[in-house]
Amino acid sequence: EVQLVESGGGLVQPGGSLRLSCAASGFTFSSYDMHWVRQATGKGLEWVSAIGTAGDTYYPGSVKGRFTISRENAKNSLYLQMNSLRAGDTAVYYCARGEGGSSGLIDYWGQGTLVTVSS
């Protein structure tokens, strides 16, 4: 059974930093792309970052230069380092598994971890 468990969320002041982690199990972690997707309260889903099996990374402009996605295959773990946080980054952050290539398929999601940016 595929399991994705996020941790590391919490309250942080504007301009601060936070590192999210995602522990994966039930599949061959190194063989899959991985994603972070966020959802502000009452809002829709927003893709935040992705990392391929070769370590290639992708970000939208809203977080590029502030967020860094990384993976540690030996530990079946995914990370998101978030710097220069803003109030607009407040959201539940989901770790998710993706299929490679141009299909864009994201097939499994974790339960999410809440990040609150506030003074």
Q: What is the DSSP letter of 67?
A: E
Taking the C-alpha atoms of residue 51 and residue 98, their distance in angstroms, rounded to an integer, is: 9
Nearer to other proteins, 46 or 83 (CB): 46
No. of helices (H) and no. of strands (E), the chain: 0, 11
Q: Which residues contact 66 (CB under 8 A, 6 or more apart)?
A: 82, 83, 84, 85
* 113 is a contact residue toward other proteins (CB under 8 A): no
- Compose the 50-79 pattern: x for residues touching other proteins by CB under 8 A, - for all others: x-------x-xxx-----------------
**How many residues bind to other proteins according to rule CB under 8 A?**
24
* 38 is a contact residue toward other proteins (CB under 8 A): no
Residue list 88-107, contact with other proteins (CB under 8 A)? 94, 98, 102-107
Using CB under 8 A, which of 18, 32, 34, 35 touches other proteins?
Answer: 35
* 3 is a contact residue toward other proteins (CB under 8 A): no
Taking the C-alpha atoms of residue 24 and residue 39, their distance in angstroms, rounded to an integer, is: 21
